[in-house]
Amino acid sequence: MNFISQLDESFRKNANPEFAAQMKSYLKDNFELYGLKTKLRREVLKPLAEKNRLEIRDTIRTLTFDLYDFKQREMHLSAIELFEKQLRKVYQKEDIIYIEKLITTNSWWDSVDFIAKQILGKYLILHPNETEKVIRRFSNAENMWLNRSSIIFQLGYKENTNKELLFNQCLAHKDSKEFFIQKAIGWALREYGRYNPKDVLEFVSKNDLKPLSKREAIRKLIG
């Protein structure tokens, strides 16, 4: 029995139909679930990943999308965590193809936010010369989740955030009617505001952001 079969079997053994129904509703009926809370899912995943570490290491790019083919959300979340763990320090330039597919497949905030910050953000640290091209393409895409990723990918950059790029992305999408875009703008500005509150407050005051974006951006920056 290979890793994926073992994982599916173990998740089924730990399934909680009542919690699965609750989470399915919370996720707007976009996914099926086994019904494992995050802590338990990771506790089940960890020893199986260790046991099958060579298989995972050698097949991570195909294995990730084999997991993505399942209907259950726990498989998708496990896939992106394994992808990130295996490749975080060794992303190849062409891995952006896989990263884009991860963002645009089985998309919802719980996966996209992890991918944008932990995977896309770290990929672009390793390949900084790709940043302008990738973010421009994601920002101009018709896919809303790529747009969101282009705004929030610097969440882990702290004081190393490219301020000009962040502000330009916020301006590019400031008129969006999408809740997830408005929220992303506010979130990205608020996080950067922890390191540069003066410039963030000035940016918000000078630009006509949507009320949600503005409220989220400054709610921890003003008394």
Tokens of 207: 């630009």
Residues in CB range of 7: below 8 A, 6 or more apart: 44, 45, 48, 67, 75, 78
State pLDDT tens for residues 170-188: 999 999 999 999 999 999 9
Q: Which burial class, exposed, middle or buried, applies to 149 when counting CB atoms under 10 A from its CB (0-12, 13-18, 19+)?
A: buried
Residue 133: count of CB within 10 angstroms of its CB: 10
Q: Above 90 in pLDDT, residue 212?
A: yes
Residues in CB range of 32: below 8 A, 6 or more apart: 20, 24, 71, 72, 73
Bridge partners (DSSP) of residue 72 are 32
Q: What is the pTM of this model?
A: 0.96
Please, are residues 7 and 45 in contact by the beta-carbon 8 Å criterion? yes
Find, among 111, 106, 176, the residue nearest to 141 by Cα: 176
Residue type, 127: H
What does pLDDT average to over the chain? 97
Mean pLDDT of 81-107: 98
For residue 120, the surrounding DSSP H or E stretch is none
